[in-house]
Structure 1
Amino acid sequence: MQTTRASAPHSADPAHGPAATPKKRVDAVDVLRGLVMVLMLLDHTREFVHRDAPLFDAANLDRTTVALFFTRWVTHFCAPIFVLLAGTGVALQLRRGKSKADLSRFLVSRGFWLIVLEFTIVRFGIAFDLDYGAFPGMLQVIWAIGVSMIVLAAFVHLPVVATGAVGVAIIVLHNLADPIVVQGWAGPGTPGPGALGALWMVLHQPGFILLFGAPALVAYPLVPWLGVMLAGYALGGVYGWEPERRQRFLARLGVAMIVQFVLLRATNVYGNPAPFAVQKDAAFTVLSFLNTNKYPPSLLFVLMTLGPALLALAWLERVPRGRVGRMLVTFGRVPLFFYVLQWFVAHAMGLGLSLATGRPTAHLFGFPGGTPPQPGAGFGLGITYLAWAVGVALLYPLCRWYAAIKQRRTEWWFSYL
């Protein structure tokens, strides 16, 4: 059965009756969150260390290898699980006694704080410069979570079923809007989209917009991620159920989502902008099948990633925590702290390795993709994985230290990092 840990007052779940209200942290949630944080570090280490990362998308079937594709693909689970569990964490707060009014105020303030973080500390971790005139920043997962929390501040006053229904409807139906495409900023000397075009890109279409006259990348259009957040909030209600009932529900829903993914992907009926197609060999045909759209997350992308996530949540309740499990719990208890630090660790790995071996470093500063890598820049997958392992080892004692502080202290500002 699942073990639990003491929680600070801001870590809680939705309503299913006071008798079922949990008073401890849900370890299965923390383990899964910690796992995806570690995988996230792999993805960002690849971006700064691997020689091909600045040149092409690792999911580009015309240029990738099987090993490189799966190095990228396994990290696809990070963002949707991260956003889903952020919504579940909000639900857990409500279940543990925080009033809806207090929770709404907290969500608005924390949402704005996350947006500020995205364009300040996170931006610096990505760019390693302060030239906002050339690169204002990227609208990434922290931005999407921040805005979604502000929206969720209103939804917490509605019935949980209604909030969940809206979230699921967004996830299922938003691909109907895929044919609506506007022209984003395409490079120096080209205009950016107009106000309505930029708004559409912020809501649903990735690409570059002009922000204060400089190009900013919309990597995480808001609408689909809001759907995942709202669904995660509704999912929090299952943590008021008896463990056997909850585990059964999570497992069955996870299996149902995986089956739906396989059927929809195989038939190419709906749910992803790019269809699955037979490739040059069996291995690349499998890659095509798995190569669903993350920007923005298509219905098939969500089914592919969150179906296994729900199975993992059910399974993690039943297994004992070994050393690795306890390490993942530590990471999962301080996700934002880990997230901010891992950008600096991954970027520093790429820069440090390049300096130590006399390789070019110009592409590691400033606008992402703004300076093409020179010949000889970057390293192979073996060095990339080694750098990732070193990064995990460096982050663990820092996260353990901060998690211990959060467990001892109750000041309000700890809920913001």
Structure 2
Amino acid sequence: MTSGNAQLSKRILSIDILRGLVMIIMALDHTRDFFHIEAMTGDPLNPDTTTGMLFLTRFITHFCAPTFVFLSGLSAYLSAQNKTSSEASKFLLKRGMWLVVVEIVIISLGLTFNPMYNFIILQVIWAIGFSMIFLALFSRISYKTVLITGFILVLGHNLFDLLPAPNNESVGVILKIFFTASGTVVPLGNNHLIGVFYAILPWTGIMFLGYGAGKWFSKDYDPKKRKTNLLNFGAVALILFVALRILGIYGDPAPRKEFQDVFKNLLSFFNVSKYPPSLQYTSLTIGVALVLLAISEKFKNKFTKVLSVYGSVPFFYYVIHFYLLHTILVIVFFASGYELKDIMSIPFFFRPTKFGFDLWGVYLIWMVVVLALYYPCKWFKKYKETHSQWWLRYI
């Protein structure tokens, strides 16, 4: 292998390491949703009611979705280098539409275990799918168009927080779906609901910025300059977060609360809005992601090798982990003495409101799930490397 190819492989490895890390942490939050005793009744980020450990458990998972979306955009740029502009656009369009279908049909079922689809949950895969559709269109114009649009969306979407709600209900729903959704529930008839938890365009902005950063990871880009860029932009993002948080004028729909307690004030400082991802939230999470990308190229040990396994097959891991978690939930549900009459609940079947464990149980189940998925992920990684069926490009 030539030195240029070796450098490229190393750069790709750094992406897989970071993506693997966030995939593992992400599973912790979903485990908490299914198994924590207060998941359905409390807010783990409320400084008034939470504990330090519970806050940290939820807060560290804040870094997962934006990093995952950012890296999806970065990977889209790298993938496009081996295709014509038309081929890259068509692939993004088809993959985006495929992901939207997967969110509705496969992931919603894994989350709810409700075969009647009474409650369809639209989360990060839905947002990634639509973002890829927009990326397919904007990337045909130019790289610069994607980058500028990404900055406009990330920096400017919180302007909608300052505007009054529209009088027209339909316009209001569309605005929520594309810009301000924080848990918008849209009824479909009497027995079916759609929960839109990820407003599309703020996440599109993050993906577009990831696409823009992809140029730094191209084959002929100077590694030292790439590292400098990652560190500098990461530092700027973190400084922006601190400045906006202190000023409290713009960048988050929920103003920072002041407490008499120093510890509660610290928690409040970092309690930024994810739904939708505010500018302050994005500055913090992507700032950290950029710094980790810069330093992870030097990491090469057994732990990073394990992380890269999860990070190399993120879609496979993401789908399977929901089904494994919910299967364990069913077992615990019946083992806890619940009966068939207790199955139906919203949003998750087999998940009563007053059910679950303290945090120690959540962490134990999380570790079991992550470890159980290592060898399936390793097998699928090898399968993708040794097979070339068309459908593998979509998984």
The answer, yes or no, to whether TM exceeds 0.5 is yes
1:287-317, CA deviations, whole angstroms, 9 ceiling, x for partnerless residues? 1000000000000000010101000000001
2: CA distance, partners of 1:411 / 1:216: 34
CA RMSD of aligned residues (A): 2.4
Task: Work out whether 1:263 is the aligned partner of 2:243.
Answer: yes
Unaligned runs of 5+ in 2: none
The residue number in structure 2 matching 1:154 is 137
SS in 1 for 2:67: helix
**CA offsets, 1:245-275, max 9 Å, x none?**
1011101111111111111101112111112
- Please name the residue that 1:118 is paired with: 103
Can you list the C-alpha shifts for 1:130-187, whole angstroms capped at 9, x where unaligned? 123x32x112100000011011101112332221111011100110101346599xxx
Normalised by the length of structure 2, the TM-score is 0.92
Matches within 5 A, 1:238-387: 238-240=216-218, 241-320=221-300, 322-358=301-337, 365-368=344-347, 373=352, 375=354, 377-387=355-365
Give the letter aligned to residue 264 of structure 1.
Answer: L
**How many matched pairs?**
388
Alpha carbons of 1:43 and 1:171: their partners in 2 closer, same or farther (altered >3 Å)? same
Instruction: Output the CA distance in 1 between the equivalents of 2:353 and 2:17.
Output: 40
Other-structure match for 2:123:
140
User: Hey, what's the Cα distance between the residues in 1 that align with 2:30 and 2:317?
Assistant: 13
Do the aligned partners of 1:90 and 1:233 also contact (CA within 8 Å) in 2?
yes
SS in 2 for 1:120: helix
Secondary structure at the aligned position of 2:162 is classed as coil
Structure 2 counterpart of 1:81: 67
Return the TM-score normalized by structure 1: 0.87
State whether residues 329 and 350 of structure 2, in contact with CA within 8 Å, keep that contact through their aligned partners in structure 1: no
State the secondary structure of the residue aligned to 2:373.
Answer: helix
CA distance change for structure 1 residues 182 and 339 in 2, over 3 Å: closer, same or farther? farther
Q: Which range is displaced more, 216-225 or 365-374? A: 365-374
In the alignment, the residues of structure 1 paired with residue 360 and residue 52 of structure 2 have an alpha-carbon distance, to the nearest angstrom, of 14
Matched to 1:152, the amino acid is L
Q: Which runs of 5+ in 1 are unaligned?
A: 7-19, 185-192
Structure-2 separation of matches of 1:227 and 1:360: 45
| 2:200 alignment partner in structure 1 | 222
The equivalent residue for 2:178 is: 203
Match of 1:171 in 2: 154
Q: CA 1:23–1:290 in 2, change beyond 3 Å: closer, same or farther?
A: closer
Check if 1:31 corresponds to 2:11.
no
The letter for the 2-side match of 1:163 is V
Q: Alpha carbons of 1:401 and 1:34: their partners in 2 closer, same or farther (altered >3 Å)?
A: same
CA distance in 1, matches of 2:31, 2:253: 28
Q: CA deviation at 1:371?
A: 9.3
User: Counterparts of 2:261 and 2:127 in 1: how far apart (Å)?
Assistant: 37
Deviation per CA, 1:172-221, whole angstroms, max 9, x where unpaired?
A: 0110101346599xxxxxxxx84322211211222111235532111001
Q: CA deviation at 1:60?
A: 2.4
Instruction: Name the amino acid aligned to 1:55.
Output: T
* Residues 208 and 217, structure 1, Cα contact 8 Å, conserved in 2: yes
Shift of 1:327: 1.1
The alpha-carbon distance between structure 1 residues 197 and 326, as it changes in their structure 2 partners (threshold 3 A), is same
Q: C-alpha displacement at 1:369, in angstroms?
A: 6.9
Output the CA distance in 1 between the equivalents of 2:103 and 2:197: 12
Shift of 1:373: 3.3
Q: Secondary structure at the match of 1:204?
A: helix
Contact 1:33 1:85 in 2 (8 A): yes
Structure with greater proportional helix content: 2
